[in-house]
Structure 1
Amino acid sequence: MDDSDAPFFPPELEREIFETAAVLYPQTIGSLLYVSKRVHDWIERILYRTITPYGARSTCSTRVLLDAIQSNLKPESFFRDRVLHLHLNAFSNSALPDVPKLLSMCPEVRDLRITIDAHQIQLDQILPGLAALRLRRLGAFLKLVLPSSIPGPVLAAVTHLNIFDSFPTHDQLTNWLVLFPVLTHVAVRHNSVPLARNVLAVCKNLQVLVFLHLGRSMGGKRENIPSAEDDRFVRMLTHFGWSEEDWITGSNGGMDFWTSAEIFIAKKRRGEIVPDSRCWIEKKDGIGYEYFADNPPSEFSPVIPSP
């Protein structure tokens, strides 16, 4: 790294260029770190922003973060306000011991995706780390994180909740949701219209309720798919709602399934969705990604949303 040459641009513009490149193209971060010392200092803050198990399309993998922590080259405080979006999983049993450590080291996380269920890890192992968080977005198996012993402040600021449990009962789901006082967005894997109506009645501040369907098709004729007669209700496919890529896109301010649902609801209220009883997004709507198709694409195909 060499800072002997003066920059061609004003420092503020130069920093914005490099940081934008790192956010939009995280695969370039490794190279950007070696441009110069000043660029290294800027990009290092972004390096640990979004942590995923394998680092694909994110800024950093959990192994890279753990190695950096265990190297003792930086104080533990260095990592506290840098990790903002964290995905933890346990598809490999060898990864389970790292989960409590990562949670405890990242108390400023605002967006947590934890694809671990109650059969893989005990709540008491992760409770100390969870207790320190003030989350805004949470994706989790609620049977893992919602026993009665979890402290209320953890849930106090959550606005977006993606529930990974399959087909919770009416009472179970509403009992979960009332524990989140400021919820505005909920996604759940279910297909019961009475359940949707119940949730929308109980959670009056809810702005978006998404039912994520298992598989690659909702089945049946589209015109026969029932709605909850509430424009806050949207049906989508888990092909997208479960996707880590979609979560990464959303964590960086891009068009994720939440944003697509919001735009769809706004268009519906303006009378731009035909028929007005339709509760799913189609390609012709020009909203983000086509979230309802009999054969959804294997990769995201972004569409610029209409104003």
Structure 2
Amino acid sequence: MSEPRLPPELEHAIFKVAAMNFPGTIPTLMRVSRRVLEWTEPLLYRVLQFQMETIPTEGFLRAIRANSQEFAARSVESIFFEAPQDISRELGTELLRKCTGIVRFGTTYPFTGTAVLEALGNLPNLRHLTLNLGSLLSWDDGSVPDASLDPLPAAFRNITHLSLIDYMIDDADEHNTYALLPRLPKLTHLAMRRGAMSDNAIRTLLPSRPQLRVLLLTDNTNPFPLPDGLPSADPRLVFGFLSTEYRGFWGDWLSGSKGDRDMWALSYETVQGRINSKASHESWSSSDAWISMSTEPISRNQPVSPELDRKLDYSRMDDELLPSLPAGQE
């Protein structure tokens, strides 16, 4: 068994940087040695587009069965349930209990209820939340709790970025949402559909939330010129084009999860530019102020074939480094 030629800390750092910058090389890096496998395999699932019977998902489920309990905790940082109707509530909540390193979580309306809210509350690092708040707050018996939930559910205590996909077609949803938002102590970024927030709600929310840095209202079409003018002259109010179509919306979510530019980044830059320039609010009340990002639409993960399923087996890994290259070819 050969020994590492570099200090373990430096060797670890090198492989981690390589895996983070070039994620496509991770399967190859995993075959260098047992210790490199332990360093790089968790990074394979750092951003997980969870859909049953696809290669990333089945590989991850196999990996958490084969590794120690801490594997799931140190692997996933961002996860969204791409087809929550295909994921049982039991499996989904179990994953949230195991993957305690999650920073970003996204889902759509089928994954809801008290068990989900409780599981989200056990994620100490959760900061970014994208979901339908109205359905999350619909209890399993069909009732809707009052927004004065006391104490505030742990799931919301550390949220900084909240992206709501609610349509607000129900009065109870609207009431509970606007009653709950002021209670989120660390909220700095809020995104909603333009049609889900009235002008009066905008004028009420912004003055009451001085720590809010961005209020992003999105739509499929350019809202300018606004028939009644801007609902607020507050520079934190940003109108943005973000497709409500599934593939486009979640494509932007994935872009931000991977560390690339997304609507959050562009919105924050827009607000800072307004503040720093000390421009009059009239300068952002036209179509020229409309922000838009072109991100790659999400694509479906490749399904697992029987042949590939047999290959997803790392049990024959050994602790030997690959042979060194001949002199002069390093």
TM-score in terms of structure 1 length: 0.74
Q: Residues 219 and 156 from structure 1, CA distance in 2 versus in 1: closer, same or farther, beyond 3 angstroms?
A: closer
Distance of 2:63 and 2:116 partners within structure 1: 21
Of the three residues 14, 18, 23, the one matched with 2:20 is: 23
Compute the displacement of 1:106 (Å): 1.5
SS of match in other structure, 2:284 = coil
| Alpha carbons of structure 1 residues 246 and 35: separation in structure 2 relative to 1, 3 Å | farther
* Equivalent residue letter for 2:102: V
1:267 is aligned to 273
| SS of match in other structure, 2:75 | coil
For 1:131 and 1:299, the matched residues in 2 are separated by 31
Residue equivalent to 2:73: 80
Instruction: Give yes or no for the alignment of 1:182 onto 2:186.
Output: yes
Paired position in structure 1 for 2:254: 248
Which residue matches 2:34?
Answer: 37
Contact 2:42 2:71 in 1 (8 A): no
1:52, 1:152 → 2: CA distance?
26
Partner of 2:44: 47
Alpha carbons of structure 1 residues 127 and 184: separation in structure 2 relative to 1, 3 Å: closer
Of 173, 177, 189, the residue aligned with 1:173 is 177
Partner of 1:137: 128
Distance (Å, rounded) in 1 between the aligned partners of 2:227 and 2:111: 43
Report deviation, 1:281.
9.0
User: Which consecutive unaligned segments of at least 5 residues does structure 1 have?
Assistant: 301-307
Letter paired with 2:136: V
CA contact (8 A) 2:255 2:262 kept: yes
**What SS is found at the alignment partner of 1:87?**
strand
Residues 224, 34 of structure 1: alpha-carbon distance in 2 compared, 3 angstrom cutoff: farther
The structure with higher relative contact order (CA 8 Å, sep 6+) is 2
Aligned equivalent of 1:229, options 229, 233, 236: 233
- 2:123 corresponds to 1:123: no
- Structure having the higher Rg: 2
TM-score by length of 2: 0.70
SS, match of residue 68 in structure 2: coil
User: Which residue does the alignment assign to 1:104?
Assistant: 97
Aligned residues: percent identity?
A: 26
Task: Tell me if the contact between 1:210 and 1:235 (Cα under 8 Å) persists in the aligned partners.
Answer: yes
Residue 86 of structure 1: CA displacement?
1.8
CA distance change for structure 1 residues 122 and 158 in 2, over 3 Å: closer, same or farther? closer
Contact 2:225/2:286 (CA < 8 Å) preserved in 1?
no
CA distance in 2, matches of 1:199, 1:185: 12
Flag the 1:222–1:179 CA change in 2: closer, same or farther, 3 A: closer
Q: What is the CA–CA distance in structure 1 between the aligned matches of 2:107 and 2:210, rounded to whole Å?
A: 27
Counterpart residue number, 2:214? 208
Deviation at 1:206, TM superposition (A): 0.9
Q: Which amino acid aligns with 1:209?
A: L
Asked if the contact 1:53/1:89 (under 8 Å) is kept, the reply is yes
Partner AA of 1:65 in structure 2: F
What is the CA distance between 1:245 and its match in structure 2? 3.2
Partners in 2 of 1:158 and 1:95 — Cα distance?
25
Q: Which residue of structure 1 aligns with residue 156 of structure 2?
A: 155
Task: Mark the runs of 5 or more structure 2 residues left unpaired by the alignment.
Answer: 139-144, 298-330
Equivalent residues of 1:111, 1:138 under 8 A apart: yes
Q: Contact (CA 8 Å) 1:90, 1:96: kept in 2 or not?
A: no
State the number of aligned residues: 277
